[in-house]
Structure 1
Amino acid sequence: MCRLLIVVACIAVAVFAGMPTTEEAKAEMTAAGISETAVDGILAIAGKYKEQFNAGKGDREAGKSAFQAFHTETEQYIATQSEADQAAYKAFVEKKKSEHHGRRSTPSA
């Protein structure tokens, strides 16, 4: 659960931290097999938390709270989507989790 929260938080931060752009995030999720409608919903949810994510840059607790709220709302939203979107989203999150884990376990040069 904690790892999933980290991945979802990373997606949200990435969307609004300038890397990647919203369009790039949309393209990446769509390429992962998530429908454009579901991706638009996820990005709309992330947009609702944009100010809270920005506030979280200087306040770890505020950031954590925003990420938890975003994660909860995103999970509730995905549960209303098609089984195909749910499966594609789950695979996308697992891939991101694996990438995140790989970056964390790679020694810095």
Structure 2
Amino acid sequence: MCKLFVAVALLAVVYAHQMPSADEMKAKLVEGGVSEAAAAGLVEIGDKYKSQFQALTKGDHEAGKKVFDSMKSESDAYIATQSEADQTAYKAFVEKAKEHFQAHKEAAAAESA
């Protein structure tokens, strides 16, 4: 899990109830331009929160938000210590993940309407 995992995994965990593996998250971050070292650090942070995400019940959005906010804060602090290139790549990665999530959310809303 990493920053992407923070954005994507949290979204996947809280909303889709699927959590990508650490290797999958790291590969996605690296594919997005984040260095191997920075991606590994982000995955390590995400791993600390994995059991908390897995323990969440489907309807407990408030608890999910708290866990996500904690993980995001720690990930943001970590990425701020990395190179500017990693920070830029991470930011782009998170924005892309947000767009993907928003599109998924809109599609789900359209299906249920």
**Do they superpose with TM above 0.5?**
yes
- Same amino acid, percent of matched pairs: 46
1:108 paired to 2:111: yes
Following superposition of structure 1 onto structure 2, how do residues 42-81 of structure 1 map, counting pairs within 5 Å?
42-57=42-57, 59-81=60-82
What does residue range 85-100 of structure 1 map to in structure 2 within 5 Å? Answer: 85-100=86-101
In 2 relative to 1, CA 20–55 (structure 1 residues): closer, same or farther, beyond 3 Å? closer
- Equivalent pairs, count: 102
| CA apart distance, 1:18 | 4.8
With normalisation by structure 1, the TM-score equals 0.79
Distance 2:63 2:19 in 1: 21
Regions of 4+ moved over 6 Å = none
**Structure 2 counterpart of 1:10, one-letter code:** V
Q: Provide the C-alpha distance between the structure 2 equivalents of 1:67 and 1:60, rounded to a whole number of angstroms.
A: 10
Q: What root-mean-square deviation, in Å, do the aligned CA atoms of Structure 1 and Structure 2 show? A: 2.3
CA distance in 2, matches of 1:64, 1:101: 16
Contact preservation (8 Å) 1:55, 1:62: no
Name the structure 2 match of 1:21: 21
Q: Residues 56, 9 of structure 1: CA spacing in aligned structure 2 closer, same or farther, 3 A cutoff?
A: farther
Contact 2:22 2:47 in 1 (8 A): no
Q: Unaligned stretches of 5+ in structure 2?
A: none
Cα separation, 2, equivalents of 1:12 and 1:43: 12
Structure 1: segments with no counterpart, 5+ residues? 1-6
Range with bigger deviation, 70-79 or 45-54: 45-54
8 A contact 1:12–1:46 mirrored in 2? no
